[in-house]
Amino acid sequence: MYVSRFGALSLVALLAACGSKQSPAPAASEPKASAAAKTAVDAARLTAADSEPGTWMTYGRTYDEQRFSPLKQINAQNVGQLQLAWHYDLAAAHRVQESTPIVVDGVMYVTSAWSKVFALDAATGKQLWVFDPEVPGAAGIKGCCDVPNRGVAVWNGKVYVGAFDGRLIAIDASSGKQAWSVSTVDDADNYSITGAPRIVRGKVIIGNAGGEYKARGYVTAYDAESGKKVWRFYTVPGEPGKKDGAASDDVLESKARSTWTGEFWKLGGGGTTWDGMAYDPKLDLLYFGTDNGEPWNHAVRSPGGGDNLFTASIIAVRPDTGEYVWHFQNTPGESWDYSAVQQMILADLTIDGKLRQVIMQAPKNGFFYVLDRATGEFISAQPITAVNWATGLDPQTGRPIENPRSRYGETGKPWSAMPGPAGAHAWQAMSYDPLTHLVYLPVIDGGFVFVGEKNFKAKTLGWNTGVDFNAGSLPEDPKVIAQIQTTLKGHLSAWDPVAQKQVWSVPYDTSWNGGVVSTAGNLIFQGTSMGEFAAFQADDGKRLWSAQTHTGILAPPITYEANGEQYVVVEVGWGGAFGLAAGQLARDAQANQGNIPRVLAFKLNGTDTMPAPPPPSDLKLAPPPDEASAKVVAAGKSHYHTFCSTCHGDSAVSGGVLPDLRYSAAMSAPNTWQSIVHDGVRSANGMVSFGSQMSKEEIETIRTYVIHRATQTKSQAN
């Protein structure tokens, strides 16, 4: 979410956005009712999810991840009568909310930031229990893109959550008490878990995030009853000569290792697996996507070139063993944070007169892909927004035809990329409607200027991308910012995956919007960063209904049935990579400066009342004298954009999630500033010590830069 001084829009919606050991059991709140379900979900029930249209038993509702509901009590004719039925305020910090609720047997299981789990009565929103895994605040530094959690999985009386600090936890569905917990990561590394687990054939499948840090991607399967590790699949090779004893050993040696050069393993290589998965019970194939390479800059990561398998790829394996079956790499030699962890949808489509079993994905690189899901064969792909890093794809193989100027690491020249690291489509869910035969997805229209980092040196804190974010930071002139805002857009797209073309679209003035759900009532539901939750007619995109929630929406809605009534529910809460890092662009792209995380449930003729928005902030700019030399301020700006901007906002403007340092009292107290940044006195709140990365003198230059920016802002407002 940056705009470079080269004049091109740069959207750093840096989505990159884990060995088992037992861990102590955090306490759950006492149940307020005994109605929490036994959650008797098994393989047969999940496979036949369509026979229970009123439930939402897994992340994508069904194993094929279509996010389509057969319910039609709420439809295009009566959706205007939709009203709030109940709301639940999440007991969570005012951070991003990205959860897909699970609803089964009358109970909703939903998560919040910091991996808290809430069990609610699906008809009333009444709290049944709350489970807090007590993730340490200091773990927040291990996440690129806020501290989100996208949801839980349910199986045989248990609820499973991946905690941000890398634990996989099983919770008793009736009591909310921990059943077991295992650490899926090495705590010494900067891994995190943000995605929802999936359960296939009695195994909990979980990946992790960390592609901006020292990370080597992998997916692990655990026994759902005991928590014992069953198999692990690494997505990129490790140190030469060392085997992992993993399901991926043979294929990494035979297919992947020769596609890497240099000492890539010292920084992990990337390829983390933090979101999209799908499962085909008939083919018995588990699919998962992989993230960008680490570092992003291909010239730094693999200086001799190479495709760097299996980064930016879709991989199919056998769920019982992790045995490799096939892969398809969307972006060979990835260098632009073009991950392929985005949602994958399984469907049967008639293409050229033949029924094809396909897997569909809109990864970050800007193309919409249709592949044969049995073999990985490329069928077709077309761009969903402006794309300039490639001029097209090989029609036989799907390999991109690259623009050679896009290789900024090799050319040594800035590259104005379309799309940017946010991608044309990020993690926000899309949906396939088998009635209209369209895919509905939130699209980001924007770019980024990549500048290779000179004299790259790995950091133990902060990002290791090989990209110079200071060179691509936002301008400080509000008039230029205003011009940039007119070019940073997004849209809801109805995409025909057979014809590979857009059928209709709904344009937005902001880019960072919510996921979608489609229903048999000829409806599409989506929320926006400006707090509007809206319904559209699925066949033509006509806006039929909306409600203002007063808080930015990123999470995808779902729909379910309780006591014979259909509900549509969405979790609201602003943040994520864009909300943290995009500075003034993010600040202006949200509903208001408050951020009230809630679960909102709507039904026909509901009788609840939407809570009033919070009052506007009354913070006053009161910086100390701006007396540092231009050289010191420039040094501070560089250090700030290296270590601080991804959380506190580009050019020292908060995106509305974490504190805006221009208003910090610590600006006027150098010793306090040092105690926070150098000594880490607020580590419990997530502000860890950077003393190992910067000297006190360097940290002081950051203070002078923030003073300078606060003074500028105050002057511009007068």
Residues identified as active-site: 337
Neighbours of 415 (CB within 10 A): 23
Q: What phi and psi values does residue 34 have, to the nearest 5 degrees?
A: -100, 15
Determine if the peptide bond prior to 310 is cis (ω within 30°).
Answer: yes
429: nearest Cα among 570, 581, 281 = 570
Cα distance between residue 118 and residue 110, in whole Å: 5
Do residues 97 and 80 lie in contact, with contact meaning Cβ atoms separated by under 8 Å? no
Residue whose pair of structure tokens reads 């037992």 in the numeric block: 22
The DSSP bridge pattern shows strands 558-562 and 565-572 to be antiparallel
- Assign 3-class secondary structure to 497-544: CCCCEEEEEEEECCCCCCCEEEECCCEEEEECCCCEEEEEECCCCCEE
Three-state DSSP class for residue 6? coil
Round to whole Å and give the CA distance between 12 and 206.
26
Do the beta carbons of residue 709 and residue 651 sit within 8 Å? yes
The amino acid at residue 354 is K
Are 632 and 571 contacting, i.e. CB atoms less than 8 angstroms apart? Answer: no
Give the Cα separation of 287 and 282 in Å (integer): 13
**C-beta separation of 611 from 87 below 8 A:** yes
Q: How deeply is 577 buried, as exposed, middle or buried, from its count of CB atoms within 10 A (0-12, 13-18, 19+)?
A: buried
Three-state secondary structure of 267-329: HCEECCCCCCEEEECCCCEEEEECCCEECCCHHHHCCCCCCCCCCCEEEEECCCCCCEEEEEE
- d(CA 636, CA 640) in angstroms, rounded, equals 6
Helices (DSSP H) in 157-260: which residue ranges?
249-251
